[in-house]
Structure 1
Amino acid sequence: MKKNKLITIIIIGLLLIGGIAYYIFHNEGNAVELITENPHYGDIATSVTATGKIQPVDTVAVGTQVSGTIQKVLVDFNSVVKKGDLLAQIDQSLFLAQVQQMTANLQLAKSNFSYQQSNFNRQTELYKAGGISRADFETAKNQYEVARDNVKSVAAQLSSVQKSLSFTNIFSPINGTVLTRKVSEGQTVAASLNTPTLFSIAKDLTKMQVQASVDEADVGNIKAGESATFTVDAFPDDVFKGKVLEVRLEPTISANVVTYTTIIAAPNDDLKLKPGMTANIIIYTKEIKNTLLISAKAIAFQPDSTLSKQFKIRKVFLGNNKGSNKGGYGNKSKSGGNKLSKPTQDTVDHKKAIVWKRVGDSLIPKHIRIGLDDDINVQVVKGLTEQDEIITGINTLKQAKSSKTADSSPFIPKRGGGGTSGSGKK
């Protein structure tokens, strides 16, 4: 008898525990709490991202117009030079010999010209006196004119070889920094076909520019004067500022992807930026400072049937717009419930939206006018204040309730230092 009585008590206890558990899971399993926020003031912007290379504003390739052997190299990588500084020198021996030869030829031509001039003067007097024929006179005149023109020709040749001699000295055309040195002493350079590049000099490394490659889908939003920020891998914690100078019209096509080169001015007073660095760029196409903001999730939130058991949900009224949906995101369902439809294109174009406010145990739709949207925050132009409590989502309490029930069960061992479950802002 005692054994049967004990079994009966255990069965009744298990039934009671099962009934309590069923009640908790069935009736409270769908309990939810609201995640809310208050509108706040801040900055918002829409932006375009791109990548690019950092380059000096102006880079000059220094070459040579004459061929020869490099005799001296007076600068190296990173050398700071000024306009007119000697960078390198080509062997001058052959050019000096040509100058000496042409100088001697000029003296010879001048001597011959002097003789022909005197002879022509004599022949002129004799011709006037009838002492020589006209043929002899014209011969003397021709020899005089040839000698005169020969002096001019040799003088021009001398000037040419002297100019070639000056080209053996390679001078810096600008003030700047030597980026590359492509020659060494003893190296032979040939300038017969293409001008060989000896040095590359950057004009001013304190003023850099970023050549960004902007996708064709984004380039229409970019204009000169817009602000930009970028980072480089060498200084991941530093954010550098710049300004859009121009969007070049020439497209670049690679694997059927069309991009446009956008030039961004980048001050570099501390010389952190180096030529060739890869920049990750954000170009701000629109910016608004100190404006009222809400989360983008608040625009997307719509109450459903799970909330109707705990809260009173007001219906959305669209106003007297002859059935149009300009006043908000939703319509009443035919059944009279609170189910809302998705926004129409007309709503988006007119920058109108609906958010839901919590007032006590009621959920009230609020028609607002919105502005800039960066996919995280949305600008509120009209309709809300900082005191409004706006719903951004819901948090299901089933897991939290189940955990509490399991911990409080007399048949399950207690956890040491049991924790609490998290929830959103209420």
Structure 2
Amino acid sequence: MKRFFPWIALIVGLLIIAFVVRQCRNGSIANYQTATITRGPITQAVTATGTLNPVVNVQVGSQVSGNIAKLFADFNSQVKAGQVVAQIDPALFQATVTQAEGDLANAQAALELARINAKRTQELFAKKTSSQADVDQAVATLHQAEAGVKIKQGALDKAKADLEHCTITSPIDGVVISRSVDVGQTVAASLQAPVIFAIANDLTKMQIDANVAEADVGVVKIDQNVDFTVDAFPMQTFHGKVVQVRNAPITVQNVVTYDTVIGVSNQDLKLKPGMTANVSIIIAHNDDALQIKNAALRYRPPDATPVETKRTETSRAGRPGGGRGGAAHEGDERTVYVLPSGDSHPQPVKIKTGISDGIMTEVVEGLQEGDRVVTAELASTTNAPQPSANPFGGGPRRFP
């Protein structure tokens, strides 16, 4: 039996060595989370928020001060251009007109008397019974009387205009959005005309004033398609088009945005003025794009070269951080890691990217449909290395 001990010891030693080698090899192989390159539609959009407003919104006010005597329109009333919508108490203004008419009549009588005196004085001067000074005085009095008539006529015209302004009419055809006064309320038009009504011309045609960040405004163009939703109809998507990108900046807490006007059709009158719209401006779209997950563009193995890591960080930092998708950077070169079939080590591959929706990115060249790219590295198949057992330790020391 003793002669078999060396062989048994040799076999056990070989088994131990094989086991250790296998464990070391498996410990160096990592598991990877992969994603398959697929084809599908991809849309790059710039997101923003805005407010729905009528295309034409007129604030109807009063040019004179007084008490509101009558109101002929209310909220949601349909009005026509020239229709009377409010009446201010005209009593004081009618009295002013009457007074101005009397002043004008008095001035006209004074003018008639000045003409008679001027004519008589000239006749007397022709007969050598009046001096030149008397003639000059009569002519001057006549001119003053003529000027007085003009002044009184102007005062009468102003009084009549104020009286006409007591009747407030609608300047456009439309619908009353808001009413700011009630019957009996006093309006004062000393420095600024008080607003009585706000009238929208046509609610079937509206616009969104969206605030687009300065990082995204460079890719927003006129006639681009727009999708938006409102909180009142969260499951319905409305559509519009960009009609104007205004150059005036809007700065709020050092954040610069630009007003982008979006035309919207509202034939069913579901949309109402003042609603908040969540806007997605379609920058680019591809119905059959080769897609890669953005996580694959961000993945870098621990043993990646510094050049690749620096290129990735530079490319990532160069992208704007505005709305969804940001600006289109077609032709950007990136490095991804492809895991071939039957191989446990990913291989770096350079690709060119196109548009992106923030989750998926278009692959212009470098990959094919069905390729597996690494998106993350999982834990090793073996547990963390355990400290080797001391053959002479014999376990923890026990005390009686």
Q: Which TM bucket (shorter chain)?
A: 0.7 to 0.9
One-letter code aligned to 1:72? K
Alignment of 1:303-382 (within 5 A): 342=309, 344-345=311-312, 348=315, 350-356=332-338, 358-359=340-341, 365=347, 367-382=350-365
Summarize the alignment of residues 11-90 of structure 1 with structure 2, pairs less than 5 Å apart. 37-45=36-44, 47-90=45-88
Name the residue aligned to 1:155.
153
Q: Which amino acid aligns with 2:43?
A: I
Shift of 1:67: 1.3
Percent of aligned positions with the same letter in both sequences? 39
Which amino acid in the other structure matches residue 119 of structure 1? Answer: N
Which amino acid in the other structure matches residue 173 of structure 2? N
Could you tell me which residue of structure 2 aligns to residue 127 of structure 1? 125
Q: Counterpart in 2 of 1:326?
A: none
Looking at structure 2, the residues matched to 33 and 187 of structure 1 have their Cα atoms a distance apart, in angstroms, of: 75
3-state SS of 2:268 partner: coil
Corresponding residue of 1:253:
252
Q: Distance in 2 between matches of 1:344 and 1:199?
A: 60
CA distance in 2, matches of 1:130, 1:89: 63
C-alpha spacing 1:356/1:215, structure 2 compared with 1 (3 Å): same
Task: Name 2:260's counterpart in structure 1.
Answer: 262
Distance in 2 (alpha carbons) for counterparts of 1:126 and 1:176:
69
Match of 1:93 in 2: 91
Partners of 1:74 and 1:261 lie apart in 2 by: 36
Shift of 1:237: 0.7
- Aligned residues between the structures: 341
Provide the alpha-carbon RMSD of the alignment: 3.6
Can you list the C-alpha shifts for 1:330-364, whole angstroms capped at 9, x where unaligned?
66x9xxxxxx9647249958424345264466878
Q: 1:224–1:247: 8 Å Cα contact kept in structure 2?
A: no
Shift of 1:288: 3.6
User: Contact conserved, 1:39 with 1:390, CA < 8 A, in 2?
Assistant: no
**Within 2, Cα distance between the matches of 1:301 and 1:105?**
92
Q: How far is 1:303 from its partner?
A: 8.3
Tell me the secondary structure at the aligned position of residue 344 of structure 1.
helix
- What is the CA-CA distance between 1:392 and the residue it aligns to? 5.1
Superposition deviation, residue 52 in structure 1: 2.5
Q: Check whether the contact 1:355–1:368 (CA below 8 A) recurs between aligned residues.
A: no
2:390 matched residue in structure 1: none
- What secondary structure sits across from 2:104 in the alignment? helix
> What residue number does 1:214 align with?
212
Q: Quick one: structure 1 residues 36 and 185, their matched pair in 2 at CA, closer, same or farther if it must change by over 3 Å?
A: closer
Structure 1 distance, partners of 2:145, 2:379, is: 113
Give the letter for the 1:150 counterpart: G
Gaps of 5+ in 2: 1-18, 316-330, 382-400
Q: Name which of 167, 170, 181 aligns with 1:169.
A: 167
